[in-house]
Amino acid sequence: MATTRASRSRRTDSLTRERIIAAAVELLDAQGESGLTFRVLTQRLATGAGAIYWHVANKEELLTAATESVLVAALAREVGGSPEEEIRAVALGLFEAIDDHPWLATQLSTELARNPRGTVAPRIFDAVGRRVRALGVPERGWFTASSALVHYVLGAAGQNVANAGAADPGIDRSAFLDSVSAEWEALDADDFPFASAVAGQMRDHDDREQFLAGVDLVLAGITTVHLSGE
């Protein structure tokens, strides 16, 4: 009996908020948001629900904590060079984090839309905005320029994950793109002149290169609007 009590005490003492969040991230990676339940979490951590509720109040708080945990790691990567290079590094860090954790795209959008007072939204804007400021953008343009970059990064990364999820699990990326490209090429060129014309480019594109090219386009726009003539 004493041994059992001691064992339970050790499990309770070793249960930290960090362990709970790490387990939540693992469940989200494996099964998505629907797979993250307190019942499954208690089984994974070999503890009771009460012990988990001591550290997190509910699933919404746990999702926010898991989101911030992954976000902090993504933004912690070493960056250096010009402000443009740093923005590209931050953007790619977010892109890769969303690629590695597909559930993150929805959660980041949710945090920005429903919980802007939390720490997730300002953390993203600070990572981008400090570099926008370093570009020399005047203060009146900080928020607009940073918003354009943030929304492009999250939108493009989220769409990339959505496209991957829409593909048949039994078909690899190249085969999927080839089939979609073939369907676009078969479209009536009078009704879909642009889509049919770029079908071949879709087949051959690299997701990360295309993503970073988009970042460069946004940066070029920011530079043209805010820095020319300054």
115: domain CATH number is 1.10.357.10
Q: Are residues 90 and 200 in the same domain?
A: yes
- Tell whether 106 is covered by a domain: yes
Q: What is the pLDDT of residues 154-202, one digit of tens each?
A: 999 998 888 776 555 556 777 888 888 999 999 999 999 999 999 888 8
Identify the three-state secondary structure at position 138: coil
Domain coverage including residue 24: 1-56
| Distance of alpha carbon 200 from alpha carbon 187, whole angstroms | 13
pLDDT confidence of residue 230: 52
Which residue, 56, 71, 91, sits at the end of a domain? 56
Q: What is the pLDDT of residues 93-141, one digit of tens each?
A: 999 999 999 999 999 998 888 888 888 999 999 999 999 999 999 999 9
Task: Say yes or no to pLDDT of 3 above 60.
Answer: no
- Tell whether 63 is covered by a domain: no
| Distance of alpha carbon 162 from alpha carbon 103, whole angstroms | 10
- Tell whether 164 is covered by a domain: yes
Q: Are residues 20 and 127 in the same domain?
A: no
Question: In whole angstroms, how far apart are CA 40 and each of 13, 43, 47, 48, 183?
Answer: 20, 5, 11, 11, 42
- Tell whether 70 is covered by a domain: no
| Distance of alpha carbon 73 from alpha carbon 92, whole angstroms | 13
Task: Say yes or no to pLDDT of 8 above 60.
Answer: no
Which residue, 41, 56, 71, sits at the end of a domain? 56
Which residue, 39, 56, 73, sits at the end of a domain? 56
| Distance of alpha carbon 29 from alpha carbon 97, whole angstroms | 11
Supply φ then ψ for residue 79, to 5 degrees.
-130, 150
| Distance of alpha carbon 229 from alpha carbon 30, whole angstroms | 51
- Tell whether 62 is covered by a domain: no
Look-up: residue for tokens 């339970």?
Answer: 8
pLDDT confidence of residue 105: 92
Mean pLDDT of all residues in 212-227 = 93
Q: How many domains does the chain have?
A: 2
- Tell whether 64 is covered by a domain: no
What is the percent of the chain where pLDDT is above 90?
67
Q: Are residues 172 and 124 in the same domain?
A: yes
- Tell whether 212 is covered by a domain: yes
Per-residue 3-state assignment (H helix, E strand, C coil) for 34-71:
HHCCHHHHHHHHCCCHHHHHCCCCCHHHHHHHHHHHHH
Look-up: residue for tokens 């594109």?
Answer: 205
Q: Are residues 7 and 115 in the same domain?
A: no
